[in-house]
Amino acid sequence: MTLTRRRFGAATLAAGLCALAGPGRAGEPAPTVAAAADLRYALEEIAAAFAAGTGLRVRLSFGSTGNFARQIREGAPFEMFMAADESFVLDLARDGLTRDEGRLYAIGRVAIAVPKSGSPLAPDGTLEDLRAALAEGRVTRFAIANPEHAPYGRRAREALEHAGIWEAVRPLLVLGENVSQAAQFALSGSTDGGIIAWSLARSPQLAPQGRFGLIPADWHQPLLQRMALMRDAGPVAEAFFAHVQQPAARAILARYGFALPD
């Protein structure tokens, strides 16, 4: 049975909420923004600047785009959705679950990531070293996000297929629930490396933990990232939606390695 927004399990949301909770406006609860995991560090900066400039706050819940789309269909009380693959937003819009088709806000990239030390892999964006390591048996575990519901996992698979090594690496895969978890696997030493979002590789939090190589953009379908307001979004969510499109927020996205749509 489809869940209502009121009855949607709070535990489902709590796992991904960051600390930017608080009153949204005049004592109202802060609206919740469902955001793709590749945005974790960039969007935290954007939301902090929004709060500092307006006194308004949003709650950020990070996870896989596919899972969020499913939760929205089940009645999750999100007021704004920032997807890593625009097709999920467009599908929701066609079904009348968003106000409109929203806006394209960024274009993502993928990168190979290896731990700072102890990995047999080089951070080679051409994946030639990974190919050699697979042939030589130097790789035991390799992380990507789950392609079943995470756009960055799908693009990782496409890049590996382009390089002709998907079948060789497939038995060694460790799948993250989202690209942020895949980055944890890739950099923690629990795997030899992985393919993650370039935006996470550029973050001050993760950059010191590893070495990275940007994978060519034409090795996979573009990561066109789109956001939209839900039908019942309130004024704070509307203000944050507008804020993300402003030059200051776009500059933060660019600093994290996102290409920006015109």
The pTM assigned to this predicted structure is 0.89
Q: Is residue 96 part of a domain?
A: yes
Report the distance separating Cα 166 and Cα 161, nearest Å: 5
If asked whether residues 36 and 84 sit together in one domain, one would say: yes
pLDDT range class, residue 29, cuts 50, 70, 90? confident
Q: Are 198 and 250 within one domain?
A: no
Residue 261 resides in a domain = no
Q: Residues 82-90: what's their mean pLDDT? A: 98
* SS3 state at 133: helix
Q: What is the CATH number of the domain that holds 169?
A: 3.40.190.10
Over the stretch 93-134, which tens digit does the pLDDT of each residue have?
A: 999 999 999 999 999 999 999 999 999 999 999 999 999 999
Predicted confidence at residue 3, as pLDDT, reads 34
90/171 same-domain check: no
Q: How far apart are CA 254 and CA 256, in angstroms?
A: 5
- To which H or E segment does residue 19 belong? none
- Domain hosting 44: range is 10-107+222-255
In a domain, 1, yes or no: no
Is 90 exceeded by the pLDDT of residue 64?
yes
Number of folded domains that form the chain: 2
Does 114 share its domain with 79? no
Pair (229, 134) in one structural domain: no
Split at pLDDT 50, 70, 90, the class of 148 is very high
The proportion of the chain whose per-residue pLDDT surpasses 70, expressed as a percent, equals 89
Same domain? For 100 and 119 the reply is no
Q: Which helix (H) or strand (E) holds 27?
A: none
Q: Is residue 4 part of a domain?
A: no
Rounded Cα distance, 233 and 108, in Å: 26
